[in-house]
Homo-oligomer: A and B are copies of this chain.
């Protein structure tokens, strides 16, 4: 039996309504407010959020549904979202779907039942497509992955632009036979593959790409497949797990990087700078993505009828030794250049 507002009221010698006002914002005389606060302390009263939410019809909570909590990209975004939500006086309900559309659907239903004020969502491709037909009952902001065009606010990386920039850079470094390995569960993988394809075409080069599950093992298999018809000079990939798989596979095959194979990918995870040589990656602005998503959601809550907005953020290319020298040109500069970066 927990203590309720009535117990506090009795202890303070006032009505429950006064207790509620003293703790909330209603007008209460200073004397009574002090009495109430004292009674709260004495009884150890904690308001019941379920009752509060039921009565006031607002949860003070937003949902954050992510595909993979183990991925530093998402934990970084989650941090930023939580910080921004906290500043706005909102709580965050965090859910992890592990890229499973079924769990995703279950969590979306749960969010509905929790009556969250809004949702920030990184959908799998399957869910993203279904979103058009059965839109959730609350405002939704998509992050990281595209949804049905024009229906939801979203904040995305310029994925096509980023992978095109990687291709451009590799070409400028002298690489020609550039293969691509992309994740198949997310729209992000598709967009990055498109950027890769377009850039290769622009340079008059033949694309060689493959879609796989975003797992280390799948990447090792993908590596073998991409090497089937002659080994590429360079590989780019859309995902840090795949990048890790490629690195493992390349090392397993006894390849030197970048002499035998150049590597580049997405997400500036700690290990990409710690291995030798460092891996060239596109760094995503995690903090900005999270805060921007929260900002969009807050404005949508304020003015539900505002036009749908799509915010595109640029990544930053972090150039490291894995893309240093090109094999065809007989430059013997095996020395890896100092790490540098440019904004896309």
Judge if A267 is at the interface, Cβ distance under 8 Å.
Answer: no
Interface flags, A267-278, vs B, CB<8A=1, else 0: 001110011100
Interface flags, A65-87, vs B, CB<8A=1, else 0: 00001101001101100100000
Chain B contacts for A82, CB-based, 8 A: 96
Chain B contacts for A247, CB-based, 8 A: 274
Chain B contacts for A47, CB-based, 8 A: 113
Chain B contacts for A115, CB-based, 8 A: 2, 48-50
Q: How far is the CB of A172 from chain B (nearest CB, A)?
A: 27
Q: How far is the CB of A314 from chain B (nearest CB, A)?
A: 24
Judge if A54 is at the interface, Cβ distance under 8 Å.
Answer: yes
> Which residue of the partner chain, among B50, B72, B78, contacts A53 with CB atoms under 8 Å?
B50
> Which residue of the partner chain, among B49, B112, B244, contacts A46 with CB atoms under 8 Å?
B112
Q: How far is the CA of A262 from the CA of B323 in the complex (A)?
A: 30
Q: How far is the CA of A271 from the CA of B272 in the complex (A)?
A: 8
Q: How far is the CA of A75 from the CA of B113 in the complex (A)?
A: 26
Chain B contacts for A75, CB-based, 8 A: 69-70, 75
Judge if A94 is at the interface, Cβ distance under 8 Å.
Answer: yes
- Among residues of B, the one whose C-beta sits closest to the C-beta of A82 is B96
Given contacts A79-B96, A113-B49, A244-B270, is CB(A70)–CB(B69) below 8 Å?
no
Judge if A109 is at the interface, Cβ distance under 8 Å.
Answer: yes
Q: How far is the CB of A210 from chain B (nearest CB, A)?
A: 22
Q: How far is the CB of A288 from chain B (nearest CB, A)?
A: 17
> Which residue of the partner chain, among B79, B91, B110, B274, contacts A271 with CB atoms under 8 Å?
B274
Q: How far is the CA of A69 from the CA of B274 in the complex (A)?
A: 21
Q: How far is the CA of A247 from the CA of B75 in the complex (A)?
A: 24
Given contacts A69-B75, A93-B93, is CB(A114)–CB(B274) below 8 Å?
no
Q: How far is the CA of A333 from the CA of B270 in the complex (A)?
A: 30
Q: How far is the CA of A59 from the CA of B113 in the complex (A)?
A: 13
Chain B contacts for A271, CB-based, 8 A: 269-271, 274-275
Q: How far is the CA of A114 from the CA of B78 in the complex (A)?
A: 21
Q: How far is the CA of A114 from the CA of B93 in the complex (A)?
A: 12
> Which residue of the partner chain, among B50, B69, B76, B79, contacts A78 with CB atoms under 8 Å?
B69
Judge if A51 is at the interface, Cβ distance under 8 Å.
Answer: yes
Judge if A227 is at the interface, Cβ distance under 8 Å.
Answer: no
Q: How far is the CA of A70 from the CA of B271 in the complex (A)?
A: 14
> Which residue of the partner chain, among B49, B109, B113, B276, contacts A114 with CB atoms under 8 Å?
B49
Kindly list 9 other residue pairs between chains A and B, CB separation below 8 angstroms, not including A49-B50, A248-B274, A269-B271: A2-B115, A46-B137, A49-B113, A49-B115, A50-B53, A70-B75, A93-B93, A275-B276, A276-B276
Chain A residues with CB under 8 Å of chain B are 2, 46-51, 53-54, 59, 69-70, 72, 75-76, 78-79, 82, 91, 93-94, 96, 109-110, 112-115, 137, 244, 247-248, 269-271, 274-276
Which 9 residue pairs are nearest across A and B when measured between Cβ atoms? Answer: A271-B271, A50-B53, A50-B54, A46-B112, A49-B113, A50-B50, A51-B54, A274-B275, A46-B113
